[in-house]
């Protein structure tokens, strides 16, 4: 970029410094033009939102917007999305529910702009096990700005039984795009593979990468039937084109609300416990795949703890939390890492370019007193990398009752290390996000006490100082997260959306 000669030396230095700082921001923070198109704001599932107006002081004065009124049709597990159409100054909230309804709302007033019912949701009585009734759209959809469409999986009750169908709707009016929906079982059958939609469930957020939408599957609560962990990729422009991955053993579901994590053109995901496997067969694992979903032939492409059999027996798997991509250190001497969190209470640090096979972690440590089932968030404080997740910390600096929010620091080195920075008081099971005003200043961790006290809480990201606690918000489902846009926070709940102003 050319800098005008009329600039003083001081001004030129300041401008270059600003440009350099901007280049260091995550792509999502620089290029999303305030839209939230996917779960936790970006394909890396960082959960880090840059909101210039949301300082520590502003966080103390957050309040519900009583004039905002958005009525949602059904129960809501999926995160809301925010879409600002090109050439407009107004935003649109898009939500999906277990009633198989997708709705668009004016993001300022909550006025409904359109709704689309895509089918009849599946009754619990039609399934061999499970704990969602009715079962419709659970995994968070994804928006593609190029096609201006929202993509999602819906469980629908058809005459021949439950089905999983992938839809693409226009963000303008909710109309179904030509060539969609895709029946998952039929598409895989044409490719010579078997998929039983009655025992497969879809909880993971969808992902778009290189013109393909990826959707991951697990089973139902109760682990019934011959389900597998699946990842399926469908071309946005040629819906008949399909790629897929399937765990070899029964089980190994991809359960995490965050689903897949992406770094560059590389896909990472975690699988749950396998059932009846005598040799390792893809369960309790973190996988690294390319967009064609073809598994590698060596240990660089997967990791599993050495005690995977014991984890299988205890249902203490890695598949409940999505792996998080982390870069620590400087550009010259940094490390590209994966952080995996397990229901065994452990955190595993992995080399992103060589996952190491069975027992191949760089570091492992017990960081929680109980199971970790969440979607973590990552942010920076100075040169330090912080990771926040919902679970009671095992090494809280100031132990106390109800400290169910844990924040780790990740340090670079020949052997990367983890330490507990602080813990926060929380009663409930939401998934956290982080906000900063410019990518590093005024870090704040936000989390919902879903299915607990149902309050939204905020903490200083560097010290853990409490900044804010809302009144109880009814209708929150466990693992629910929130989004931060402009001068508002949005929270999805059963039958309505909350908007909080600052």
CA distance 113 to 173: 8
For residues 337 and 362, is the Cβ–Cβ distance under 8 A?
Answer: yes
Q: How far apart are CA 302 and CA 211, in angstroms?
A: 25
Rounded to a whole number of angstroms, the CA Rg of the chain reads 22
Cβ(82)–Cβ(107) below 8 Å = yes
Beta carbons within 8 Å of 12's beta carbon, 6+ residues apart: 3
Burial class, 31, CB count within 10 angstroms (exposed 0-12 / middle 13-18 / buried 19+): exposed
CB 270 within 8 A of CB 309: no
For 225-270, write each residue's pLDDT tens digit.
Answer: 999 999 999 999 999 999 999 999 999 999 999 999 999 999 999 9
The pLDDT > 90 percentage for the chain reads 87
Mean pLDDT by 10 residues, the chain (502 residues): 37 39 40 82 98 98 96 98 91 98 98 98 97 98 97 96 98 98 98 97 98 98 97 97 98 98 97 96 98 92 98 95 92 84 97 97 97 97 93 91 93 87 97 96 98 98 98 96 96 97 96
Pairing of strands 417-424, 433-436: unpaired
Contact of 489 with 482, CB cutoff 8 Å: yes
Report domain extents, the chain: 29-501
Contact of 252 with 281, CB cutoff 8 Å: yes
For the beta carbon of residue 417, count every other beta carbon within 10 angstroms: 14
What are the C-alpha distances in Å from 297 to residues 32, 300, 301, 350, 358? 36, 8, 8, 18, 14
pLDDT tens across 51-86, in order? 999 999 999 999 999 999 999 999 999 999 999 998
Torsion of CA 354, 359, 364, 368, to 10 degrees: 120
Q: Which fold would CATH assign to domain 29-501?
A: Methanol Dehydrogenase; Chain A (2.140.10)
Nearest to 492 by CA among 500, 453, 58: 500
DSSP characters over 177-203: PTT--EEHHHHHHHTT----TTT-B--
Determine the pLDDT at residue 16: 38
């Amino acid at each position: 970029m050319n800098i005008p000669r009329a600039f003083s030396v001081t001004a030129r230095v300041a401008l270059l410094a600003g440009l350099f700082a901007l280049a260091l921001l995550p792509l999502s923070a620089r290029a999303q033009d305030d839209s939230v198109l996917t779960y936790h704001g970006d394909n890396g599932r960082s959960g880090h939102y840059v909101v210039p107006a949301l300082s520590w002081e502003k966080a103390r004065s957050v309040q519900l917007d009583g004039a905002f009124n958005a009525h949602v049709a059904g129960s809501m597990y999926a995160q809301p999305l925010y879409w600002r159409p090109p050439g407009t100054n107004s935003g649109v909230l898009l939500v999906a529910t277990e009633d198989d309804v997708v709705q668009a709302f004016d993001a300022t007033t909550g006025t409904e702009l359109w709704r689309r019912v895509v089918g009849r949701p599946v009754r619990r009585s039609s399934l061999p096990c499970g704990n969602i009734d009715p079962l419709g759209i659970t995994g968070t959809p994804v928006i593609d700005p190029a096609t201006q469409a929202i993509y999602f999986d819906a469980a629908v009750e058809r005459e021949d039984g439950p089905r999983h169908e992938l839809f693409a709707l226009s963000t303008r009016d909710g109309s179904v795009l030509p060539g969609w929906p895709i029946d998952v079982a039929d598409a895989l059958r044409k490719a010579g593979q078997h998929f039983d939609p009655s025992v497969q469930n879809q909880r993971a957020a969808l992902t778009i990468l290189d013109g393909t939408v990826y959707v991951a599957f697990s089973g139902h609560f109760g682990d019934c039937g011959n389900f597998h962990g699946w990842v399926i990729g469908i071309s946005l422009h040629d819906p008949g084109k399909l790629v897929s991955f399937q765990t070899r053993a029964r089980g190994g579901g991809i359960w995490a609300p965050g689903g897949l994590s992406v770094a560059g053109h590389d896909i990472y995901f975690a699988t749950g416990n396998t059932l009846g496997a005598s040799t390792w067969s893809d369960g309790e694992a973190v996988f690294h795949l390319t967009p064609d979903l073809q598994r590698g032939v060596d240990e660089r492409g997967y990791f599993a703890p050495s005690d995977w059999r014991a984890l299988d027996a205890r249902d203490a798997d890695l598949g409940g939390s999505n792996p998080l991509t982390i870069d620590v250190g400087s550009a010259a001497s940094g490390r590209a890492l994966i952080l995996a969190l397990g229901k065994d209470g452990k955190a595993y640090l992995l080399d992103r370019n060589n996952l190491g096979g069975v027992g191949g972690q760089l570091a492992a440590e017990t960081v929680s007193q109980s199971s970790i089932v969440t979607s973590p968030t990552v942010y920076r404080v100075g040169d330090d990398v912080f990771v926040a997740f919902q679970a009671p910390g095992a090494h809280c600096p100031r132990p106390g009752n109800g400290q169910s929010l844990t924040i780790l620091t990740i340090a670079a080195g020949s052997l990367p290390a983890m330490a507990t920075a602080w813990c926060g008081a929380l009663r409930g099971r939401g998934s956290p996000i982080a906000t900063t005003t410019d990518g590093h200043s005024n870090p704040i961790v936000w989390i919902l006490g879903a299915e607990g006290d149902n309050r939204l809480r905020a903490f200083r990201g560097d010290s853990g100082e409490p900044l804010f606690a809302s009144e109880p918000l009814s209708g929150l489902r466990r693992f629910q997260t929130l989004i931060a846009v402009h001068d508002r926070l949005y929270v999805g709940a059963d039958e309505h959306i909350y908007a909080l102003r600052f």
